[in-house]
Structure 1
Amino acid sequence: MSFPLSGESLEMFLSRARMLSVGAVPVYLALLFFVTKEEGWHWSYLVLALLPPVAAVLGVQGKRDILPGRAVWAMVLSIAPLPLIGGLETLF
């Protein structure tokens, strides 16, 4: 099964989604320690501590059970903390 105009197989897509979501966890934890050290306790702590582990679980489940929808959600949730932090920090 191929995705239109991409030339990649479902297996490759699920593998990339899993790697992106699992690889984002240590990056966001490092960013979490930097943000809390520099700026103190803010809403960004909740965003960085909650979303990446959820994305990693969804990515692993999407690959294991061959669920492309869950893999897409894992990719979205692994990218979502950056715009959320920017929006939350400008509000508060």
Structure 2
Amino acid sequence: MPTFSGDTMELFLSRARILAIGTVPAYLMLAFFLTKEEGWHWSFLALFVLPPVAAVLGFVAKRDIRPGLGIAALVLAIAPFPVVGGVETLL
């Protein structure tokens, strides 16, 4: 099992927080664009719900030094694309 130094853990948690917080405006702009172009679909809720949750998790992971929570924030930051794509192909 690899061991992480304090600097490596700090770098990982910082990047997880920045990515999770940075996805919020990107997904909101994507949601507004898709709503304007395609009309409203319920799958766009993933673009409004998951990014803020990921941002909060990323912030808490950095503050409390919890790498598992940082990984969860990264997963939730990336999750809206497969969720929206999967739902739209089913409909």
TM-score of the two chains, using structure 2 as the length reference: 0.91
- Residue 78 of structure 1 deviates from its aligned partner by 0.2
Deviations 1:65-90 (A, max 9, x none): 00111110000000000011110111
Q: What is the rounded CA distance, in whole Å, between the counterparts of 2:8 and 2:28 in structure 1?
A: 31
**Which residue is equivalent to 1:23?**
22
1:22·1:56 contact (CA, 8 Å) conserved in 2? yes
Q: Which has the higher helix share?
A: 2
SS of corresponding position for 1:2 = coil
1:17·1:72 contact (CA, 8 Å) conserved in 2? yes
Q: Please, which runs of 5 or more residues in structure 1 have no aligned partner?
A: none
Q: What is the rounded CA distance, in whole Å, between the counterparts of 1:21 and 1:44 in structure 2?
A: 20
- Residue 44 of structure 1 deviates from its aligned partner by 2.5
Query: Map of 1:26-65 to 2, 5 A cutoff?
Result: 26-65=25-64
**Which residue is equivalent to 2:86?**
87
Q: What is the rounded CA distance, in whole Å, between the counterparts of 1:50 and 1:14 in structure 2?
A: 22
**Which residue is equivalent to 2:74?**
75
TM-score of the two chains, using structure 1 as the length reference: 0.90
> How many aligned positions are there?
88
Sequence identity (%): 61
* Amino acid corresponding to residue 2 of structure 1 in structure 2: F
**Which residue is equivalent to 2:10?**
11
Root mean square deviation of aligned Cα: 1.4
Q: What is the rounded CA distance, in whole Å, between the counterparts of 2:43 and 2:36 in structure 1?
A: 12
